Amino acid sequence: MRDVSRRTVLKATGVGAAVAAVGWPQIRLAAPSAVAAGADDQTLLANITASFVGTSATNADPVVQTKLTGLYRTAKSNLAAMATVPTTQLFNGLPLGTNDANLTSTYLKLSQIAFATAMPLPSGSTVPTDLAGNTTVQNRVIDALSWLYDNYFGDQATGYYGNWYNWEIGIPMHASRTLAVLHDRLEAYRPDLAATYVHAMDLYLRSGKNGDVDLDSRFDTGANLADMTTNRIVQGAVLGDDARITKAIADQLTVYDTIDPYNLQHGVTDGFYADGSFIQHASVAYTGSYGTGLLSRVAATIAMLDGTAYASNANLAAQVNGWMSRTFAPVIAQGWMMEMIKGRAISRTTTGYKDAVSVVESAVTLSAYAGSPGSGDLKSYVKYLHDIPQVAIDPNSFTSPTSVQRYAEIVSDASIPAADLLPQQATFVFNAMDRNVHRRAGYTFALSRSSTRISKYEYMSGENLLPWFQGDGAHYLYLAGDDQSQAYGVDYVTAVQPYRLGGVTSPVEERKTIPELYGEQFYDNPAAGFTSSSVSQNTYVYFPLGTNDYSGGAQLGAYAVAGMVQSDDAAYVAKSRGELPDDFVAYANSRSQKSWFMFDDEIVVLVAGVTDLHGRDVLTTIDSRIAATTDDVSVTGSLRGGASFVGPGSASNPRWLQYANATRKTVVGYVFFADAAVDVGLQDVQRSRQLVRASNPNTIVSKNVFSLSVAHAAAESPGALAYAIVPGGGVDALERYDGSTTGPVILVNSTDLQAVRHPQLGLVAANSYSIGTHQVGKLSIDGAASVIVQDADGGRTRIAVSDPTFGRDEIAVTVPGRRPVVEPHDGVTVQSVTGGTRLVFATHHAYGATVTVTLQGQGVV
C-alpha cells in the first residue's frame, strides 16, 4: 500500500538564518549536463555490474571469496527450487497471482542467479565455476523473465495489487539489476526484452508523469525518489539511453539538496535539513531507516557514475560526507542506531546494531571518493565501528564484493586510527525533526518530541502497533560500554507498557491498536476519503502531527535546553470538530509542559501543568529500563526524612534513588529537587514480540522492567516535578546534590517559565512559554523563547537564543549594564536601555536554529 503523504507545511519562516547559525554550507547541487549519445555507457554499465558481482581484480582477492561463495550458494539453492515448467509459481513456496511480496521475492531470486553467472572468477578464486558465464543458466533466467512478464507483470490492468512499493521500486530494482548484469547475453538471446521491461516499469510509475517520476507528486520524494531514480539510471545504462540517465541523475540530485522550509521545491519537505535532521513522509523523523536507505543509494550512485561524464558534480561526495558527521553519526550511540529516528521500524527485530552495518558499507564506499580529510575521517569511523564487539560487522552482508575488499583494507591498515566522527562531549539540537542527542563519555541521551511540524509517531502496515506516546518527550539513555540490545530495541517497546515509556506523561487509560479497532491494518472508509494510501489515512492514522507549536530549544557549545508543550494529536482535534466519521476512534492526550536541561553529569527535567481535561488520572514516568530476569538488579535511595529506601515500592519524598544492574555493571541515579511520591517498579514480564509488530515471530520476551513514576490524581490541581537523571551516578555523587553549591539549582518551574542555574558550569538556561516579560535572575526574556547564558573565558558572557515556536520574528533578551558585543552575529541587534543592554535576536525564518552572541563582561548568571 502507499505509505507516503505530502502535507503542505511548515508554519514558520526561512532557512538562511539557520544555515548561517550552524555554519553548514547549503550546497545547491546542479543537474548534470547532457552528454553525447552513447558516451560512457559501457563504463556506467561496467560499474553497475561490478557493484553487484565484483571485477576480476576484486574477485581475485582472498578476502572476497566468502562473499562470492555465498552468492554462488544462494544461486544454486534458487536453481534447485526453480520450476522447469512453471505454472502458478516459478520458485517453490512462492505462489503468484495475488501476492505481490511473492512476486518481488521471485524477481530477487532471479537476480541472485544472474549475479552468480556474471561473477568474474579469475585464477586463484576458490568459488566453483560451473555457474560463471554459464549461458544455459543465463538463458533460463531470461526465459523466466519473459514468462513473468507475460503472466504476472506486463499487464498493468491485472498488476499493481498489494503494496505500491513492490511495483514501483522493489520489482523494478531486481529486474533492472538482472537486465544489467545479463546485458550481453540479452543482446544475443532476447534483444527485445530489456526495452519491453523498461517500458512496463515506466507504466507502473502511476504517480509519475509520461512514464517518468514526477517531482510534484506526493509519492516521488526523499528515499523513495532516490530508489526510483537509481532504478532509472540502471535502466538507462541497459538501453544506452543517455536522456534517461541524465534526467534520472538530475531528479535524484534534488533529494540531496538541503531543504529550505520557506522555499520548498515541488512542495517537498522530505530530505535533509540544515541542522542535520532527516524527514520522510513529510513529517516523520526517519534518519535511521529511510535515511540510511537513501545514504546507501547515493553512495551507490557515486560509485556507478565514477569515471563517466555523468559524474559532473564535484560537490556531491563532499555533501554526503557532511551528512555522515552531522546527520548519521550523531544518532548512532556506540554502534547502535537510536530508536527515536526509526519510525515504525522501532518495532522490527533486526534494528539497532544491524542498522549501523548499512552505514558502514556506505562509509566504505564513500571513502573511496571523498577528498582529504573526508576520506581519512570515514575510514577511521569504519574502524571505530568495527572495533565495537556488539556491532559484529559481517562484510559478507555488504551488497558489493568491492566493498568487502575495501573494508578489509581499512580494518587491516595499522596506519588508520579508529576514531568516532564526533567528540565525546557534544550536543545536537535537531529542531527540524523535534529531536535532541546529548553525548558524554559515559552516556548518550536521546529525546523525542513532536509538534505541528513533526508527527507524534509512525504506525503502518501492522508495524509499531503501540506508538501513541513515542513523540511525547520519550527519552532513551544509552550507557557507554553496555550492550544496547539488552537495554532497548524491539524488546524495550515489547516489555515496557506504551504508557510508561521513559519521560512520558500519559492519561491512565487502555488504548486499542488499529487492528483491534478496525479488524485490519488501516481504517477503511473510502466514502470518507480513507483508503490505504490516502492523505486522510496518513494524516490521522499512520503519522498524525501534534497540535502544539511549542517544541524546540537552544544550544550553547556542548550544552542544550529543550522544551515542549504536550498536546492532542491531529486526529483527536479533527474528531472533536466533527470532521471525521463517527466510527473513527481518536484518543485525547493529557497536558504538561516540560523542559530538559542537558549538562555534563546530569539531565535536569522540569515538568509543570500536569493535568487532564477529561477527568482522567495521569501518570508521569521518570524512567523505564529493562534487564534480563536473571540480572542482579536493585533500587536503593535516600528519603528526605533521613530514612533509606530499598525498592520496589513507594518512595515518599526521596532525595535520590539509584538503579543498579550489577550483572551488566550499569548505574543510573535520579535526584529529586522537590517533594514527590515516587512509585518504584521492578516487575518480571513476558510478552510476545508480535504485540508491537504483527509480522514479528511469536518470540516471547522475558524481561525485568524497572520504572519510576509519579501519579497525578484527576482531582488534584496541576502537578509539577523537578528531577535530574544522573547517568552512572554513584552514591557519593548523588549525595552531593543535596544542598550542593555547585550542582543545578531550580530557579522557576511553572507553566510560564522553567529555568535552571548551574553554578559549577557558570550557566543559566530557561524556556519561557507565554507573552510578556520573564525574569530569570538578572536576565529578562520577552515572550516565548529558549535561552542559555554562560560565563565565558576572558570575562565574557555568551548568550544563545532560539524560537521554540518557529513563529516569532524576533526575541528580545535584556541583561544588566552596558555590555559591548565582542563576537557579533548578523542576527543580533544591540540596543542600550535604562540600566542594561537589550539584545534583539532575529528569529524570522530561522526554523528553530540557535543564534549566539558574545558580550564583554560577566555577572548575568
DSSP string, 569-605: BHHHHHHHTT-S-TT-------EEEEEEEE-SS-EEE
Q: How far are the Cα atoms of 278, 289, 293 from residue 381, in angstroms, in the given order?
A: 21, 20, 19
Under a CB-based contact definition with an 8 Å cutoff, are residues 634 and 662 in contact? yes
The mean pLDDT of 352-370, rounded to a whole number, is 92
Considering the chain, what is the average pLDDT of its residues? Answer: 92
Distance from C-alpha of 749 to C-alpha of 201, rounded to nearest angstrom: 59
- Residue-wise pLDDT for 735-754, tens only, equals 999 877 778 999 999 999 99
φ, ψ dihedrals at 490, nearest 5°: -60, -30
756 phi/psi in degrees, rounded to 5: -135, 140
Q: What per-residue confidence (pLDDT) applies to 23?
A: 30
Stronger pLDDT, 273 or 24, i.e. the higher one: 273
Are 489 and 496 within 8 A, CB to CB?
Answer: no
Residue 230 pLDDT greater than 80, yes or no: yes
Position 12 pLDDT exceeds 70: no
Q: How many residues does the chain have?
A: 861
pLDDT, tens only, 767-785 = 999 999 999 999 999 999 9
Query: How much is the pLDDT for 370?
Result: 81
Q: What is the DSSP string of 596-622?
A: EEE-SS-EEEEEEEEE-TTS--EEEEE
Q: Over 60: is that where the pLDDT of 658 sits?
A: yes
pLDDT in tens, 759-768: 999 999 999 9
1: confidence class by pLDDT, cuts 50, 70, 90: very low
Low-confidence winner among 31-45, 117-131, 795-809 (lowest mean pLDDT):
31-45
At which residue does the C-alpha cell 578489509 appear? 408
Which residues fall within 8 angstroms of residue 802, CB to CB, at 6 or more apart?
Answer: 429, 431, 552, 553, 554, 555, 785, 786, 843, 846, 848, 849, 850, 851
Q: How many CB atoms lie within 10 A of CB 694?
A: 14
745 - beta bridge partners? Answer: 757
Q: What's the rounded Cα separation, in Å, for the pair 181 and 113? A: 10
Does residue 203 contact residue 196 with C-beta atoms inside 8 Å?
no
In single-letter form, the type of residue at position 404 comes to V
**Average of pLDDT values for 566-582?**
98
The cell 500519559 sits on which residue?
Answer: 506
pLDDT band at 4 (very low <50, low <70, confident <90, very high): very low
Residue 35: pLDDT over 60? no
pTM, whole model, 2 decimals? 0.93
The arithmetic mean of pLDDT across residues 276-304, rounded, is 94
Query: For position 21, what pLDDT does the model report?
Result: 31
- CA distance linking residue 14 with residue 845, whole number of Å: 3
